[in-house]
Chain A
Amino acid sequence: MNLELIIFIVLALTGAISAVGMITRPNPVISALFLIFNFFALAGLYLLLNAQFISIVQIIVYAGAIMVLFLFVIMLLRTGEEPKLFSEKKHIKYFAIVIAVLVFVQLGYLIFYEAPSEYISQRVQQSMEAGTIENIGQQLYTTYMIPFEAAGFLLLAATIGALVLAKKNFE
């Protein structure tokens, strides 16, 4: 058993346990904290897959900014007084169980019975090199320069839109 496998198992277990913790806690704030834990485990898994950029995005954007937003929403909306979803609508529970079993069977089949295709194993080295921050930068600022600036415009629109909407609704 090499080190990489041990790290993978630890991270995967952390991710799975924190995901289950997130959906089972009755207190939404504790759920949100479990979600942060899950994001960090996912970031570690991305690093193991040599996707450094996605891993950093995961920590900075998801675990940083989006979680702050989630917590603010939880704080803004008074929760805790609503009845539980499953106690009100019983049939949703059976539907959820069917979907969960289906996904589980699919995943089990893919992991244990399906061999990785030729096409994937040929390109492993290439995809490993593509995930580094330097490579993404080289692509982003030469080939994909226009989409990059377009992303800047999108963010500008998001900034102004957020400010306008916030003023309109609450003042």
Chain B
Amino acid sequence: MLTEFGKVLVFIILAAAFVVIALFVARLIRPARPTKEKFTIYECGENPEGTPWVKFNIRFYVVALIFLIFDVEIVLLFPWALTYQDYGIYGFLVGIIFLLILGLGMAYEWRKGDLEWEKPSPKPPNLAKILEKSKRNIPVEVPD
């Protein structure tokens, strides 16, 4: 008889087998005619220029850091969710105090505006103005 983790293992094996079989069958069926163009990096029809390494905004890193801390909080609350009922109101309060302490961190983060994401607001070009401008500058074509 399988344990609960054994069932998880069966799921993992089935998922892996699904991917492997699907890719293998696709390889058997599909035609393979590689050309030089097919191996270039797909960039919406443009030729890629320069390095794809762009510097990320540091704010992504701060979000990842906060995520790490609350992830650890989740891990510490896992055993609490399983066992707090055995200890009545006492066991419940232990977890609530823990949550309140971390809620304080969350409140600090919120208050200091680290959850806000300042979006750049580009001005869309005013089409009517551009047209008016271009009208004045277009030289009139003289038909022969």
Known: A47-B5, A53-B79. A138 touches B68 (CB 8 A): no
In the complex, whether B129 has a CB less than 8 A from a CB of chain A is no
**From B55, B64, B94, B101, contact of A68 by CB (8 A):** B64
Tell me the bound Cα distance from A52 to B82 in angstroms: 13
Chain A residues near B79 (CB-CB < 8 A): 53, 133-134, 136-137, 140-141
- Stretch of A84-92, A95-103, A120-128, A150-158 on the interface side: A150-158
Chain A contact-residue range equals 35 or more
Known: A61-B71, A78-B53. A72 touches B94 (CB 8 A): no
Contact A148 B98 (CB under 8 A): yes
Known: A138-B83, A138-B86. A159 touches B108 (CB 8 A): yes
Tell me the bound Cα distance from A145 to B91 in angstroms: 10
Tell me the bound Cα distance from A68 to B9 in angstroms: 25
Tell me the bound Cα distance from A25 to B83 in angstroms: 44
> B interface vs A, CB < 8 Å?
5, 9, 53, 55-56, 58, 60-62, 64-69, 71-76, 78-80, 82-84, 86-87, 91, 94-95, 97-98, 101-102, 104-106, 108-109, 112, 114
Q: Can you give 10 A-B contacts (C-beta < 8 A)?
A: A56-B75, A66-B68, A68-B68, A76-B58, A76-B61, A133-B79, A142-B87, A156-B101, A156-B105, A162-B66
